[in-house]
């Protein structure tokens, strides 16, 4: 049985700097093999990880134990992945990518696996969405190995996913087994009791943060004030290579808030003291803020999202990046 990890569908906790909407993507030079056979598939390297189009991964895994289908739901800005179903070619798979460094913007497409939100780190590059290979491997339970000497990535569809980490620490309790329901059952500005229980279980006095949200149109270089915009706040672990991540839940709904009639909102919640210190010392973002869906403002359609850093918590203001959706077609979006 494949593994489903619940998440926001917005991979904004790994953005390089607070409030940023873009990072650098470099064409990967790594060779990729599937069950020992070389695969001619292009990828980008972002923050030390290989990112692929979902349709490209599905294409090279088609017919294996790890095959999955990819479809696009334009009405909901949503990519649907179906486990153990043959992939249907739509055209454009396994294309070459432009040479040179590219700009990678945060992806705002929701990704669902077998009808449930999937935890996949995504960036949009030149109109296509790219996702971290290891996230896909974890979700669909196939293994990925790396040989640094030969610069080779091996996808092994007959083996279960192995993150390569061993720990004697007990596994943290699971919170919000139904991620989406956690938000739907909350009133606006109500903190998720499961999240608060996790905070209270940490040693020390929790740090209460309160930040005013500002919404910035990054394409048109202006502040905007969307009224009645619902936002979801999620607690994420940062890059899993960091040795302190297991002390914090992988993905937990924190609360939902809504802007007022003038487009303003203030976010207030508790952070465990040790986590707050790690946010400060390691410059990581454990929290993400994202719009529930696309929204309209001044005749334009936007998506919204950002990470929340220690420095923004201290300053009391966080800038939510609003990206105008331009020329996003169905087949292109799911690639």
pLDDT of residue 328: 46
pLDDT of residue 89: 94
Give 267-326 pLDDT, tens digit per residue. 999 999 988 998 888 777 788 898 888 899 999 999 888 888 899 999 999 999 888 876
pLDDT of residue 166: 46
Cα–Cα distance for residue pair 50/137, rounded to 1 Å: 12
Between 155 and 120, name the one with better pLDDT: 155
pLDDT band at residue 122 using 50, 70 and 90 as cut-offs: confident
Do residues 118 and 57 make contact, with C-beta atoms less than 8 angstroms apart?
Answer: no
pLDDT of residue 59: 97
Cα–Cα distance for residue pair 136/2, rounded to 1 Å: 11
**Averaged pLDDT score across all residues of the chain:** 81
Q: Give CA 49 to chain center in angstroms.
A: 14
Element (H, E) at 128: strand 128-132
Cα–Cα distance for residue pair 18/31, rounded to 1 Å: 33
pLDDT of residue 185: 83
pLDDT of residue 158: 95
List strands edge to edge, sheet with 31-34.
37-39, 31-34, 152-156, 143-147
Between 286 and 190, name the one with better pLDDT: 190
Q: Give CA 174 to chain center in angstroms.
A: 19
Give 24-55 pLDDT, tens digit per residue. 889 999 999 999 999 999 999 987 789 999 99
pLDDT of residue 191: 93
Comparing 5-14, 218-227, 298-307, 326-335, which segment has the lowest mean pLDDT?
5-14
pLDDT of residue 178: 45
Give 72-107 pLDDT, tens digit per residue. 988 888 899 999 999 999 999 999 998 888 888 888
252 pLDDT more than 60: yes
Question: Mean pLDDT throughout 217-241?
Answer: 82
List strands edge to edge, sheet with 110-113.
68-73, 78-83, 110-113, 116-117
Its pTM stands at 0.51
Q: Which long-range contacts (CB under 8 A, 24 or more apart) does 75-80 make?
A: 76/110, 76/293, 77/108, 77/109, 77/110, 77/293, 77/294, 77/303, 77/333, 78/109, 78/110, 78/111, 78/112, 79/54, 79/109, 79/110, 79/111, 79/112, 79/129, 79/333, 79/334, 80/112, 80/115
* Structure tokens given for 47: 């923050």
pLDDT band at residue 251 using 50, 70 and 90 as cut-offs: confident
Between 325 and 12, name the one with better pLDDT: 325
Give 107-118 pLDDT, tens digit per residue. 878 888 888 877
């Amino acid at each position: 049985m494949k593994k489903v990890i619940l998440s926001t569908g917005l991979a904004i906790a790994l953005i390089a700097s607070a409030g940023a909407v873009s990072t650098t993507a470099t064409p990967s030079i790594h060779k990729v093999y599937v069950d020992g056979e070389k695969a001619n598939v292009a990828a980008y390297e972002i923050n030390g990880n290989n990112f692929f189009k979902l349709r490209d991964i599905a294409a090279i895994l088609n017919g294996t134990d790890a095959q999955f289908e990819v479809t696009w739901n334009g009405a909901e800005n949503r990519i649907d992945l179906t486990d153990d179903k043959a992939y249907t070619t739509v055209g454009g798979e396994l294309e070459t990518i432009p040479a040179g460094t590219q700009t990678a913007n945060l992806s705002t497409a929701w990704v669902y696996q077998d009808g449930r939100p999937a935890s996949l780190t995504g960036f949009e590059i030149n109109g296509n969405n790219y996702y971290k290979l290891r996230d896909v491997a974890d979700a669909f339970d196939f293994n990925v190995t790396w040989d640094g000497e030969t610069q080779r990535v091996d996808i092994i569809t007959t083996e279960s996913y192995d993150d390569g980490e061993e720990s004697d620490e007990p596994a943290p309790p699971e919170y919000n087994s139904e991620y989406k329901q956690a938000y739907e059952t909350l009133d606006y500005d109500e903190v998720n009791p499961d999240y608060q229980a996790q905070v209270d279980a940490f040693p020390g006095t929790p740090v209460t943060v309160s930040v005013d949200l500002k919404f910035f149109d990054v394409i048109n270089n202006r502040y905007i004030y969307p009224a009645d915009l619902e936002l979801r706040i999620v607690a994420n672990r940062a890059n899993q290579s960091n040795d302190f991540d297991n002390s914090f839940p992988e993905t937990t709904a924190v609360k939902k808030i809504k802007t007022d009639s003038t487009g303003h909102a203030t976010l207030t919640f508790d952070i465990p003291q040790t986590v707050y210190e790690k946010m400060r010392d390691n410059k990581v973002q454990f929290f993400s803020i994202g719009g529930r869906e696309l929204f309209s403002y001044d005749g334009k359609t936007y998506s919204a999202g950002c990470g929340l850093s220690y420095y923004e918590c201290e300053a009391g203001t966080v800038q939510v990046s609003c990206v105008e959706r331009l020329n996003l077609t169905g087949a292109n979006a799911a690639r």
